[in-house]
Structure 1
Amino acid sequence: MEDYALSFWIYMGVMSVFVGGAMKKVLASHISAVPTLVAWLCVTVLVVRLCSLWPPAVLALAILCAVCYLLSGRGAPAHTLPTEGKAVLITGCDSGFGKATAHQLDALGFEVFATVLDLSGPGAVDLQRTCSSRLTLLQMDITQPQDVQQAFLTTKAKLGLRGLWGLVNNAGVCVNFGDAELSLMSNYRGCMEVNFFGTLNVTKMFLPLLRLAQGRLVTVSSPAGEQPFPCLAAYGASKAALGMFINTLRHELEPWGVKVSTILPSAFKTGQSINFEYWDKQYKNFVQNLSPGLLEEYGEEYMLETKELFQCHAKTAAEDLSPVINTITDALLSPQPQVRYYAGPGVGLMYFIYCYFPLSLSDKFLQRLFMKKKCHEQRHTKATIDSMVHQRFTGLQDVSLHTGQVTFFPVQ
């Protein structure tokens, strides 16, 4: 009886290791872990079957797990490439991810070319004051071809024959407000101009320097470019176009030795997202330019609630930018960088649900994030009532008037 109890507890210990490993993979933030998760689950089933057929296998597996655990604990730290002599250009360094990345890469020893919209702005001044002499500030609006050309010539002149080790496409904008039907055409064009055409122009311009160094192309994109986030149609469409371009480049640049990575961050407090005056200004511009017909159908209260929803998301966004900065650094320095990085709280789980759960469940997940509006529910109820009334009256075949009364003859 005592032997049975001992075997039982050893068995429970071994199964805890396997099941715990499986759960760890479920909660991991990288979708690439899913095949490993499947493998863990299959091995767990095999272990259960083996232990039921041959009890001594429990002890053998316990010893094996202990040995593997000890060996993994003594493993060498992850190898990274040296930064000496490597140059990186980062777009959009006035604030947010770009500015923080420029700080970190400069501290690691990279020669950093940081592009900003305003050389005299607070972001540029802070970078110049706090970073080393290796950092070079470049004025560049990625939507202006002459700015991109001048930044390229300056960078090429300083690098000589070394080439550019890394290009970090970080600059982007979310010029968007409201549902896809309500979003202004200027919002769609503004997002495409910056997020797609601007990044496209920068990438094409600097590719010869990247190929020369057999370097890294790192692009900060968004889950909104791959998942149908309500109220983010303009922004999402521009990021979807960018994603297709970058993924195509990944295949085309492989023979040249250039590795391509995409960063997919969750919500962070960066740029204008934390500026409530910005959202108020966007809202006023939005309502003033909306057609009277749409304004009447949706109602100004609905648009106001949309603005408040965006502001609420901005309040709850993460302040610590390190998850994104660390993934950019890994993409530049890892001997085998990942194709996709999921950076920030919740984004890995969101992708797991989107990719591996039924569409109905993933849709509910997105709607719970972005469709919490009371006005939306009221509008849905009104639309249902209107539809019922419409169906009732379209089912009438004839109308007769008798002494001021209306007689209805329904279709049989």
Structure 2
Amino acid sequence: MMDDYNLSFWIYLAVVTVLVGGGIKKILASHLSTGPTLVVWLGATVLVERLWAFCLPAMLLLVLLALICYIYLRSRTGPPPTLPVQGKAVFITGCDTGFGNAAAKCLDSLGIDVFATVLDLTGDGARELQKSCSSRLTLLQVDITKPQQVQQALLDTKAKLGLRGLWGLVNNAGVCVNLGDAELSLMSNYRGCMEVNFFGTVSVTQSFLPLLRQSKGRIVNISSPAGDQPFPCLAAYGSSKAALNLFTETLRHELQPWGVKVSIIQPSSFRTAPSSNNNYWEQKHKQLLQSVSPALLEEYGEDYMTETINLFQSFTKHANPDFSPVIDAIVQALLSPQPQARYYAGPGLCLMYFINSYCPFSIRNRFLQKIFLKKTLMPRALRKQSDQEVNHGLHNNNNEEKLQQL
């Protein structure tokens, strides 16, 4: 029965599957009405069907489809439409370094009134913002895990806005306080990540939502692919981002009747100040070695735990130092007439999510291991077990040889 289907049939089936699957995925992910979008994708599918019916060679069909996509993309090369910035104000958390610091500078240069929170008003990041930004920028000292400071920031923002609402909230503040196997991560590490990445973000969002509803504005949450995919050694961080992702998706549905649009940004690997601070991670590693129980330390081995931190530091050295993909996504989410629900900022993310969504588990698992921490050591207990099995096998082989000689 399989012989009745030639290669061209399977190519045709793959093309149609991609078209239909892509159409359904876009319909589910977009805010556009389902009817017109479905008609367009069904029309494209029928077009492929008719072309194939006229015996168009498979390779020529693929070239035609590639040409259509190229013309379509070329027609959209102009800058995407944006809303006017006059009178708009945006509140950004975590502006000491990294994405928050760069986003505050960019939005200020566009003419937006920026409220930038920092942990240290006398730190390098705060001083840099004061020097490089206009007088419109307002610096606020805020630890988002402390409700009193969040409420004081709300009062200060209201006082400066007057009767205006707040157009945008960018929840950027986040931490990764631990790197290691889930079993080796202390409960304080899990709580530390959740306090900042999830509970702190929820606290800020709830506090500023009345201002955002007043202006029918935007919420932009900076998350991580670690919240969608099980990156090894990032259990504490990934769990907090997974909670943030679900909170964001729920918020997007709930705020739609209010006219508030909610977006989430998934950055790829970027060389931010916290992740590239080797002294910080070495200090965390020493604390972990001192805090983990002697039994666990014996099971895993200090060399195994040291390799993890060394691999992470090597990984961050090759991370992208250019934040522009993330900053561009933040600007689009704030100023696009129809912002996307999700923005994938940085190279390689589309491939990563495609593999995670459509490939078998074994391929997904191997892909994650190849792109992140490429461990060479097993935990000490497993190494001992493996050595014992090898020695046991050699002993049995020697016994069999002696019996054969007898």
TM-score, structure 2 normalization: 0.80
Matches within 5 A, 1:73-222: 73=75, 77-222=79-224
Change (3 A) 1:116 1:39: farther
SS at match of 2:116: strand
Q: Indicate conservation of the 8 Å contact 2:181/2:235, yes or no.
A: yes
- Equivalent residue, structure 1, for 2:318: 316
Unaligned runs of 5+ in 1: 1-14, 391-412
Q: Deviations over 1:212-258 (max 9, x none)?
A: 00000000011111111110000011111111111111111111000
Q: Indicate conservation of the 8 Å contact 1:116/1:139, yes or no.
A: yes
SS at match of 1:52: coil
Q: Indicate conservation of the 8 Å contact 2:96/2:124, yes or no.
A: yes
From 216, 239, 242, the counterpart of 2:241: 239
- 1:260 correspondence with 2:262: yes
Change (3 A) 1:101 1:40: farther
Matches of 1:163 and 1:183 in 2, distance apart?
42
Larger Rg: 1
> Deviating runs (4+, > 3 A) in structure 1?
30-33, 38-45, 68-77, 377-390
Matches of 2:94 and 2:387 in 1, distance apart?
49
The residue identity in structure 1 corresponding to 2:335 is L
Matches of 1:380 and 1:237 in 2, distance apart?
27
Q: Indicate conservation of the 8 Å contact 1:231/1:370, yes or no.
A: no
- Equivalent residue, structure 1, for 2:354: 352
The residue identity in structure 2 corresponding to 1:215 is G
Q: Indicate conservation of the 8 Å contact 1:173/1:194, yes or no.
A: yes
Shift of 1:334: 0.4
Matches of 1:318 and 1:71 in 2, distance apart?
26
The residue identity in structure 2 corresponding to 1:49 is W
Shift of 1:78: 2.4
Shift of 1:369: 2.9
Change (3 A) 1:384 1:157: same
- Equivalent residue, structure 1, for 2:49: 46
- Equivalent residue, structure 2, for 1:297: 299
Matches of 1:340 and 1:387 in 2, distance apart?
49
- Equivalent residue, structure 1, for 2:7: none
Shift of 1:133: 0.9
Matches of 1:361 and 1:250 in 2, distance apart?
32
Change (3 A) 1:32 1:253: closer
Q: Indicate conservation of the 8 Å contact 2:304/2:380, yes or no.
A: no
| Root mean square deviation of aligned Cα | 3.5
Unaligned runs of 5+ in 2: 1-10, 31-37, 393-406
Q: Indicate conservation of the 8 Å contact 1:177/1:286, yes or no.
A: no
Q: Deviations over 1:255-300 (max 9, x none)?
A: 1000000000111011211111111111111101110000001100
The residue identity in structure 1 corresponding to 2:326 is V
- Equivalent residue, structure 1, for 2:327: 325
The residue identity in structure 1 corresponding to 2:192 is G
Matches of 1:81 and 1:204 in 2, distance apart?
25
- Equivalent residue, structure 2, for 1:9: none
Matches of 1:281 and 1:257 in 2, distance apart?
46
SS at match of 1:125: helix
Q: Indicate conservation of the 8 Å contact 2:315/2:373, yes or no.
A: no
Matches of 1:45 and 1:71 in 2, distance apart?
19
SS at match of 1:274: coil
Q: Indicate conservation of the 8 Å contact 2:299/2:379, yes or no.
A: no
Shift of 1:385: 6.1
Matches within 5 A, 1:365-380: 365-376=367-378, 380=382
TM-score, structure 1 normalization: 0.79
- Equivalent residue, structure 2, for 1:398: none
Matches of 2:71 and 2:374 in 1, distance apart?
46
Matches of 2:43 and 2:229 in 1, distance apart?
28
The residue identity in structure 1 corresponding to 2:377 is C
Q: Deviations over 1:340-391 (max 9, x none)?
A: 000111112111110111122111111223452221287655445668999x
Matches of 1:376 and 1:40 in 2, distance apart?
53
Change (3 A) 1:53 1:372: closer
Matches of 1:105 and 1:370 in 2, distance apart?
32
Shift of 1:73: 3.7
Change (3 A) 1:358 1:86: same
Change (3 A) 1:123 1:361: same
The residue identity in structure 1 corresponding to 2:147 is P
The residue identity in structure 1 corresponding to 2:315 is H
- Equivalent residue, structure 1, for 2:402: none
